[in-house]
Amino acid sequence: MPSVVMITGASGNLGRALAAAFEANGGSVALVDRRRDRLEAAYGAEGDRLFLAADLTDPDAVEAAAQAAMDRHGQIDVLCNIAGGFRMGPPVHETPPADFDFMFGINTRTVVNTARAVVPRMLAAGRGKIVNVGAFGALKGAAHMGAYIASKSAVIRLTESMAAELRERNINVNCVLPTTLDTPENRAAMPEADPAKWVAPADLANVIVFLASDTARAIHGAAIPVTGLS
């Protein structure tokens, strides 16, 4: 199991599940979120973990976070890009440019910015694993979700492109495509739905940990659906 894992969007439900899964396998985690107080609320005292506050849409802030992880641990073995967001919207022809900018900012540019900061360090080390979080819904278009679907679809294509560029350099790049996660927030927002059909964050975390393991060393550029019973 890799020893140093950088997780973006780490204060959320999936971030906490993922940090716990990597730590259970002996990994050290560098946890990135927009504000440090969110990480403190999610995890309590920093302890052996590394808390990193960074606006992932700001390349300089991401570079500083990656350098801080290197300063502490000397390496970044795994990058898990789980930061992002969902928003319904108007029809595509009525969607304001700012809405497209927002969706592509949090879902797509965050991936590009972390890659720019972390991949050179992985290349220098001669190894690495990157796992991005796309969305199962991004496999086809749907009404009132154009900006979101486009931004998450771009994550899939970026994953494939990065895998083609890095597979010969001993860096695996893959992504997962979850459906609805079973979180308190989603239960509150959809009280009539059956959460038993959703994906538990711990289950999605296990898939990500697998992709970050040496067992998955032959997998490059995959977009793996994680759909539960939905």
pLDDT tens digits in sequence order for the chain, 230 residues long: 458 999 999 999 999 999 999 999 999 999 999 999 999 999 999 999 999 999 999 999 999 999 999 999 999 999 999 999 999 999 999 999 999 999 999 999 999 999 999 999 999 999 999 999 999 999 999 999 999 999 999 999 999 999 999 999 999 999 999 999 999 999 999 999 999 999 999 999 999 999 999 999 999 999 999 999 98
Calculate the CA 214 to chain-centre distance.
Answer: 19
- In eight-state DSSP terms, residue 44 is S
State pTM to two decimals.
Answer: 0.96
| H-state helical runs in the chain | 13-24, 36-43, 59-73, 97-104, 110-125, 146-166, 184-189, 201-211
Q: Are 204 and 17 in contact (CB under 8 A)?
A: yes
Residue 230's pLDDT is 85
Q: What Å distances lie between residue 176 and 30, 136, 141, CA to CA?
A: 20, 8, 18
Dump pLDDT digits (tens) for 123-146: 999 999 999 999 999 999 999 999
One-letter amino acid at 175 equals C
Residue 1's pLDDT is 45
Rg over alpha carbons for the chain, rounded to the nearest Å, is: 17
Residue 193 tokens read as 């739905």
Residues 6+ apart with CB under 8 A from 25: 1, 209
Active-site residues: which are they? 148
3-state SS string for 171-187: EEEEEEEECCECCHHHH
Dump pLDDT digits (tens) for 82-111: 999 999 999 999 999 999 999 999 999 999
Q: What Å distances lie between residue 70 and 4, 77, 201, CA to CA?
A: 9, 10, 28
DSSP β-bridge partners for residue 177: 225
Residue 65 tokens read as 């976070």
Residues 6+ apart with CB under 8 A from 62: 54, 56, 113, 114, 116, 117
**CA 45, 49, 50, 56 torsion: positive or negative?**
negative
DSSP β-bridge partners for residue 51: 31
Residue 67 tokens read as 């350098």
